[in-house]
Amino acid sequence: MSARPAAMLERAAKGTAAFEAAVHRLTDAGLTRPSYLPGWSRAHVVAHVARNADALVNLMTWARTGVETPMYTSADQRADGIEDGARRRAGVLREELLAADGRLAEAFAGLPDECWGATVRTARGREVPASQVPWMRVREVWVHTVDLNITTFDDVPHEVCAALVDDVAAAFRARPDCPSVELRTESDVRTWLLGAPGGAEPVAVSGDLPSLAAYATGRPVPGPLYPTGGESLPKLPAWL
C-alpha cells in the first residue's frame, strides 16, 4: 500500500487558501493590472492556476483509473485556456478558480491509498509517482501568489521556501547554462549547490531563506543577499 502524502496535501490546501485570499483582495480593476510575469495580467495568473488545478485532476484520474490522462492535450490547449480565462469577467474568473480548486481537492481526497504510487507524467514529460502531484500544486499556488504582485516570499512558509530551493537545485544541477552558485542560509544552517559539479568555484550567495527562494525561482527578492566578496548576483536561468 502506498503512503498518502498527508503533510503535502495539507500544504497544498493552505497554499490554495492563500492564493484564493490574495485574489479576493484584488478589485475587479486590479485583476487587469500587470502581474510579475512578463506579458501576463493578474487575470492570466488566476486563469493559469485554475487551469492547472484541472490539469492535476487529470493526473489524479490517471492514477485512479490507470488510463493515461495527460495534464493538457497540447501546449496550444494550455495556452488557449489561460487566454480564454483571462478575458472573462472578474466575477466569473473568481468562480472558475474556486470551482477548479474544489475539483482538485475532491480528487486528492478521493484517491485510494494504493493509487498514490501510480506513475503519471507531467506536462514536461517527466514520469513521477502520483504522490508528487500535491507538491506540484504547492509549488504552483505559493509561487503564483507572489506573482500577483501584492505579496512577497516573506509570506511563504519557510518549509515551502526550503522545498522550492530543493526543487530548483535539483533542476539546475546538470544544466550547463546555470552558473555555479552555492546558496547559504544565515549561519549556514542549510546550503544548496546550483549548476553542474566539477566546474568553476561556486559563488556563495548568503541570505535569509525567503530571499534565497525568491532568487532561485526568479522572483522579487524581499531581503538582502550577499554574494562572495561583494560580487554581483549571478544570473540564473529561468526555472518554470
**Among 64, 52, 65, 72, residue whose Cα is nearest residue 12:** 52
Give the DSSP letter of residue 34.
Answer: B
Q: Please report the pLDDT score of residue 51 as a whole number.
A: 97
pLDDT at residue 19 in the model = 98
From residue 177, alpha-carbon distances to 194, 206, 226 in Å are 11, 21, 22
Residues 197, 57: Cα–Cα separation, whole Å: 37
Q: For residue 2, what pLDDT is reported?
A: 66
pLDDT tens for the chain, 240 residues long, are: 568 999 999 999 999 999 999 999 999 999 999 999 999 999 999 999 999 999 999 999 999 999 999 999 999 999 999 999 999 999 999 999 999 999 999 999 999 999 999 999 999 999 999 999 999 999 999 999 999 999 999 999 999 999 999 999 999 987 889 999 999 998 778 999 999 777 778 999 999 999 999 999 999 999 999 998 777 899 999 998
118-146 burial code (b ≥16 CB/10 A, e <16): bebebeeeeeeebbbbbbbbbbbbbbbbb
pTM: 0.94
pLDDT (0 to 100) of residue 223: 95
Grid cell at residue 225: 543577499
In order of their start, the domains of the chain are 6-151 (1.20.120.450), 161-230 (3.30.1050.20)
- pLDDT by residue (tens digit) across 66-107? 999 999 999 999 999 999 999 999 999 999 999 999 999 999
> What is the chain's mean pLDDT, rounded?
95
Question: What letter does residue 197 receive in the DSSP assignment?
Answer: T
Say what angle helices 6-25 and 90-110 make with each other, to 10 degrees: 170
Q: Are 4 and 129 in contact (CB under 8 A)?
A: no
183, 192 contact by CB (below 8 A): yes
Return the bridge partners of 206, or none: 184, 226
